[in-house]
Amino acid sequence: MSHCPDDNLLIEVLQGTISSSDLQELEPHLSDCEACQSRMEKLSAQTETIKTVLNLDHDTSHPQWETRIADRIAAAIAENGLKRMANTEFMPAVEGYEIESIIAHGGMGIVYLARQINADRTVALKMMLYGQQADAEEIQRFQIEAQAAAKLTHQYIIPVFDVGVSDGQHYFSMGYISGTSLKELLQNGPLPEREAAEMIRKISAAIAYAHEEGIVHRDLKPGNILVDQNGDPHVTDFGLAKQVNQDDQLTKTGQVIGTPSFMSPEQARGQVNEISPLSDVYSIGALLYATLTGRPPFQSDNAVKTIMQVIEETPISPRILNPDVSRDLETICLKCLDKNPASRYQSAEDVKLELKRYLDGQPILARPVSAPVKLWRWCVRKPALAGMMVSVVASLLVGTAVSTYFAILANQRAERADEGTRIALTSLETIIETVQRKLYQVPGASKIRRDLLKVTLQDLENITRAADYSTRIDRNIANVFIDMGVLYFEYGDSGGGNASLKAKANMLRAVEIFEALSPDGSSADQSLLEDQARALRILADYLQNEHWIDEAHPHQREPAKALPYLIQGTTICRQLLQDDPDNQEIQFELARTIKGYAQAIDDLGRRDEAFESVQEAIVLLEMLKESKDARESFYNILLSSYIAAGDAAHDSKKNDVAYEQFQKALEVAEEYAIRYPVTATTHDNFSWCHERMANHWRQLKNFPEALASFQKMQERLEQAMILDPEDRVLKDGMAVAYDGLRSVYQLMGQIENAKEARKKRDEIEAWLAVSRE
C-alpha cells in the first residue's frame, strides 16, 4: 500500500483496534512515510490537561528542599501537632459479613458497605460508635428497638435485616440503596414543588405505617432519607438513632447531639415523655420545609443556639424564602411545625392525606395559620411566664452541654477527644454568653442565671484539661466567677447570707485567674485581655461603691483599693486599642474603666482631676452612642459618666458645671427612653438623674425644686419596681428617695410629711433586712 491511510484508519492503528492483517499491510508504509508519522504524532498528542500537569513537574524542585527537613517537620507534627485519635477500628470484623468499604461517617457511627454472607446480599452495615460503653440494660433496649424496627416492611422504609453485637459494638444491617441522601439532594437547592410534595407524601405514608406498628422514628431528617434512582424516598434509622436515657444523662445517654434543626420543640427541650408520633409529624413538616426552601426551618452555627430557636422562634414562612411555594403547601408545612403538638396534624396519616389532596388538586383541610406570633415578644409582655420559659431553656442548655460533652467523652476512643472538649467548651461558652446577654434582659431570671452559672462552672472544672484548651477553660471559669459575683452583687443570695462576701470572693478569684493567665495584662490573646479588663473593672466597681447587699457585711467605699485594678484595666484597654483602634467593645470597656477611675479618684478627693478624666469617657461614649451599632449599655454608661462628672463638680461646689452635667444625663435618659423599649432601667435612669438634681437643689437651698426632684425620683423607682420587683438596687434607691423626701420636708418644716416619708423609708429598709435573712 503506497497511498496514505485516512485518519479513521490511523486512529484504529493508534487505538489498537485495527485487525492484525490490516496492520501488517499498513505497517511498512507507516514506518517510512513522514507525513503519516506527523499525522500520528498529532493524533496521539497529549490532551491539554495532562500536558499542563506534566509541565508543572519541571519547575518545581527547590534546590534547598531536603528529606531531612521533611523528616524534621513530620516529627514535629507528630509530636505536638495533632491530637486527633487514630482511627484504629478502620475496618471492623463482623461475623457473617464481609466488609467492603466505608459508605459514610456520621455522628452516630460508621456505615459500611458489606456483604451478608449467608443471605448473599449487599447490605449497609451500621456500627454504633458508643457501643463499647453501653451497659446491659442499654444493649437490651437497643436490641428490642432494633428488632421492632426490623419488623417494619414498607416500600418506603429501608428494611433492617439483622441486629447484633460484635466485639462490644452494636451494629445492624439494612438494605443498601445506591442513591443519594435527601441531604445531598437538597444541597443543590429546593425541589420543584410537586416533587417535594410527592416525596413528603411518600415519607408520610412510611411514617404513618410505622406509627401503626407502634414505632416512632424520633430522628427524621434529610440525612435519614435515602433517595433511590427513581427518586423514591426510603426512610432509615427507625427508633435506633436516638437512645435517650433521661434518668442519667451524664453517663448513659451516649448521644451526640447532631443537628437539632429537624427536631420537634418537645424533643429539643429534652422532654422525653412528650415524644410521640406528633413529634414525627413535626419533623415531617421540617422535611417539607427543607425540600421547599432548601434549608431547615431553623439553623445556626451551633447546636445550642439552634435548639433555642427551635423552642423560641417561629420559622420564616417558606414563601418568603421561595416565592414559588404555594400557599397550600406553606399552610401544610407550618401546621406540622406548630410548637404545640395539639395544633399539628394529629397523625402522619393526616399529613399524607392532606398532601394527596394537594397533589390531586383538591382543597386542603387546614386553614392558613394567622400571622406568626413571636414567642419571645409575647413572653416579654408576660414576665411571669417568661420566667418559666427561661427555666425551661436553662435546664435544656445545661442538659445539652453536659450530655454533648459526656457523649463525646464516651466516644473518645473512636472519635476525636479534643473535638469533644472543643464542642463542650463552645456549648458552655454559649451558655455563659446567654447568661450575660440574653437572660440579663429577662426580669426574674436571677436565680436561673445563678443556677446556670453554677452548673457551667462544674462542667468547666470537669472538662479534660487537654493542654490546648487549658487557658480557654481557665478563662471561662474566671468569666463564670465574675458573672456569679455580679449576680450576688445585684440580687443578694436567695439561699441566705453572705452575698456581699460571696460576690467579692468570686470577683477576686476571677481576677486572680486572669492575673495567672496574663500577668500584668501581658497575654498576647486579645480576647483574653478583653475579658481580663472586664473582670478588673467589675471588681473595682464592687470595691469602690458602697452597698448593703447583706446587712452583716455592709460594704464601705474602698476607692483606694479599687484604684490599682482600674489603672491596670485602663492600661490593658489602651494597649488593645493600639492594635485595634476601631474596636467598639474595647472602646466601651475603656470608657467604663475610665469612668470608674474618675469616680475612685473623686472619692479620694482629687475632684478636678476626676472631672477631667471622665471627660475622656464621655467623648468616647458620645461617639459610640452615635455609631450605627449603638447599644443600650452605651447610653447607660454615658449617663452615669455625666453623673460622675456632675458629682465631681458638685463636690467641689461648682454648682453650675454640675447642673450642666446632670442636665446632660437627663437628656441621655430621655433619648434612651425614646429609643429602647421601656424596662426597669428606663425608669431607673431617670430616677438617678432626679436624685442628683435633687441634691443639687438642696445644696442651693432651693427646697421646692429639690422636693419636686425627689418626688420624680420616687415615682420613677415605683415604676421600675413594677417591672423588676426583685432588684435590690431599686429597693435601695427607693429607701434613698424617701430619705431625701424626709430631709427636704424637714428642711421645709413640713413635719407630718417628713414623718410619713421616714415611715416609708423604714418599711423598705425593714423589708430589705428581712429579705436578707
Taking the complex as a whole, how short is the minimal distance between the CB of residue 85 and other proteins, in angstroms?
A: 7
* Of residues 750, 748, 739, the one with CA closest to residue 717: 739
Please say which residue, 72 or 653, places its beta carbon nearer to other proteins: 72
Report the distance separating Cα 182 and Cα 371, nearest Å. Answer: 30
Determine the 3-state secondary structure of 124 from DSSP: strand
Taking the complex as a whole, how short is the minimal distance between the CB of residue 142 and other proteins, in angstroms?
A: 25
Sorted by sequence, the CB contacts under 8 Å of residue 130 that are 6+ apart come out as: 254, 407, 410, 411
Question: 573 near 533, Cβ under 8 Å?
Answer: yes
Question: Per the structure block, which three cell numbers stand in for 451?
Answer: 443556677
Please say which residue, 44 or 494, places its beta carbon nearer to other proteins: 44
Mode of pairing for the β-strands spanning 109-116 and 121-128: antiparallel
Report the distance separating Cα 518 and Cα 525, nearest Å. Answer: 9
Taking the complex as a whole, how short is the minimal distance between the CB of residue 654 and other proteins, in angstroms?
A: 45
Taking the complex as a whole, how short is the minimal distance between the CB of residue 61 and other proteins, in angstroms?
A: 8
Taking the complex as a whole, how short is the minimal distance between the CB of residue 473 and other proteins, in angstroms?
A: 18
Q: What is the DSSP string of 465-478?
A: --GGGHHHHHHHHH
Binding residues (CB under 8 A) for other proteins: these are 13-16, 23, 26-27, 30-31, 37, 40-41, 43-44, 46-47, 49-50, 53-54, 56-57, 60-62, 64-65, 67, 69-74, 76-78, 81-82, 84-87, 90-91, 93, 99, 102-105, 184, 187-188, 416, 524-526
* Three-state SS sequence of 199-212: HHHHHHHHHHHHHH
Question: 424 near 401, Cβ under 8 Å?
Answer: yes
Handedness of CA 519, 521, 526, 532 (dihedral sign): positive
Please say which residue, 88 or 340, places its beta carbon nearer to other proteins: 88
Please say which residue, 223 or 443, places its beta carbon nearer to other proteins: 223
Measure Cα distances from 463 to 170, 415, 423, 460, 692 in Å. 27, 16, 11, 5, 49
Please say which residue, 28 or 704, places its beta carbon nearer to other proteins: 28
Report the distance separating Cα 341 and Cα 450, nearest Å. Answer: 32
Partners of 169 in the beta sheet? 166
* Of residues 224, 231, 330, the one with CA closest to residue 283: 224
Place of cell 425551661: 392
Taking the complex as a whole, how short is the minimal distance between the CB of residue 38 and other proteins, in angstroms?
A: 9
The alpha carbon of 441 is separated from its chain's Cα centroid by a whole number of angstroms, namely 17
Question: 385 near 379, Cβ under 8 Å?
Answer: yes
Report the distance separating Cα 214 and Cα 212, nearest Å. Answer: 5
Report the distance separating Cα 337 and Cα 283, nearest Å. Answer: 8
Indicate which residue of 32, 71, 219, 483 is catalytic: 219
Please say which residue, 39 or 447, places its beta carbon nearer to other proteins: 39
Taking the complex as a whole, how short is the minimal distance between the CB of residue 647 and other proteins, in angstroms?
A: 39
Taking the complex as a whole, how short is the minimal distance between the CB of residue 111 and other proteins, in angstroms?
A: 9
239: left (phi over 0), alpha (psi -120 to 50) or beta: left
Rg, C-alpha atoms of the chain: 35
Q: What b/e string do you get for 663-694 counting C-beta neighbours within 10 Å, with b at 16 or more?
A: bbbbebbeebbeeeeebbbbbbbbbbbbbbbb
Please say which residue, 90 or 367, places its beta carbon nearer to other proteins: 90
The alpha carbon of 403 is separated from its chain's Cα centroid by a whole number of angstroms, namely 16
- Give the DSSP letter of residue 46: P
Taking the complex as a whole, how short is the minimal distance between the CB of residue 572 and other proteins, in angstroms?
A: 14
Measure Cα distances from 176 to 109, 205, 236, 456, 669 in Å. 16, 21, 10, 43, 67
Please say which residue, 2 or 556, places its beta carbon nearer to other proteins: 2
Please say which residue, 26 or 220, places its beta carbon nearer to other proteins: 26
Show the DSSP H helices in 337-440 as ranges. Answer: 348-359, 375-381, 383-410, 417-433
Please say which residue, 19 or 60, places its beta carbon nearer to other proteins: 60
Taking the complex as a whole, how short is the minimal distance between the CB of residue 468 and other proteins, in angstroms?
A: 12
Taking the complex as a whole, how short is the minimal distance between the CB of residue 40 and other proteins, in angstroms?
A: 4
Please say which residue, 466 or 501, places its beta carbon nearer to other proteins: 466
Q: What is the DSSP string of 98-114?
A: EEEEEEEE-SSEEEEEE
Q: For residue 219, indicate whether it is catalytic.
A: yes
Mode of pairing for the β-strands spanning 169-175 and 180-181: unpaired
Measure Cα distances from 420 to 405, 406, 407, 416 in Å. 6, 8, 8, 7
Report the distance separating Cα 230 and Cα 245, nearest Å. Answer: 38
Contacts 24+ apart (CB under 8 A), 521-525: 521/568, 521/571, 521/572, 521/575, 525/471
- Burial label for 209, CB within 10 Å (0-12, 13-18, 19+), is buried
Sorted by sequence, the CB contacts under 8 Å of residue 556 that are 6+ apart come out as: 546
Please say which residue, 84 or 141, places its beta carbon nearer to other proteins: 84
Taking the complex as a whole, how short is the minimal distance between the CB of residue 187 and other proteins, in angstroms?
A: 5
Please say which residue, 525 or 616, places its beta carbon nearer to other proteins: 525
Taking the complex as a whole, how short is the minimal distance between the CB of residue 117 and other proteins, in angstroms?
A: 16
Question: 689 near 737, Cβ under 8 Å?
Answer: no
The catalytic site residues sit at: 219
